[in-house]
Amino acid sequence: MKTVLAILLVAGLMSGCEIWDPSHDLNSFFGSFGNYPSQDQTAEIRSEEYHTWPLKIREAVDNRRVLVGMTKNQAQAALRLEEKRLQKLKSDSTDNKIESWIAWRLLKGWSYVKRPQSQMITILFRDGIVAKISAGPLE
């Protein structure tokens, strides 16, 4: 009987049947406490603007790299993080608007907060354009 049950389970998996994922129900019960959204938070920017960007910028965004000269939307799309959740410092001078974003670079992406083996990156914008990128020590 156990062999038949194991064969049916393997056959079901191989046929592409959907298997119940308890994490969905638990997340809705706990309100996704402690979980970060897995979807791309910048999909709207990418769908509206991506095709108009130069090839160099599109390649950097695809590789999740921020480059000097990018706009705020391009940098946000490269980070794949919501701007409103980033740590920011703003300074409005008479000549230009200066803003800094702080994000944490991971091996394969970015985070809003410090994580193990992450590196703090400060992105300085002048008038909405990336002017400087500074990296802190690996923590």
Q: With respect to residue 108, please indicate whether it lies within any of the assigned structural domains.
A: yes
Is pLDDT of 120 > 90?
Answer: yes
Predicted confidence (pLDDT) per residue in 95-107, tens digit: 678 999 999 999 8
Domain encompassing residue 133: 39-138
Q: With respect to residue 32, please indicate whether it lies within any of the assigned structural domains.
A: no
Q: With respect to residue 44, please indicate whether it lies within any of the assigned structural domains.
A: yes
Q: With respect to residue 12, please indicate whether it lies within any of the assigned structural domains.
A: no
**CATH code, domain carrying 110:** 3.30.1450.10
Q: With respect to residue 52, please indicate whether it lies within any of the assigned structural domains.
A: yes
Q: How sure is the predictor about 93, in pLDDT bands with cuts at 50, 70 and 90?
A: low
In the structure, how many helices (H) and strands (E) does the chain have? 5, 5
> What average pLDDT does this structure show over 7-13?
64
Q: With respect to residue 21, please indicate whether it lies within any of the assigned structural domains.
A: no
> What average pLDDT does this structure show over 38-64?
88
Number of residues that this document lists for the chain: 139
Domain count, the chain: 1
Interatomic CA distance for residues 125 and 109, integer angstroms: 21
pTM: 0.67
Query: Which amino acid type is present at position 94?
Result: T
Interatomic CA distance for residues 126 and 139, integer angstroms: 28
Q: With respect to residue 23, please indicate whether it lies within any of the assigned structural domains.
A: no
CA distances 132 to 50, 122, 129, Å, are 22, 8, 9
Is pLDDT of 60 > 90?
Answer: yes
Is pLDDT of 29 > 60?
Answer: no
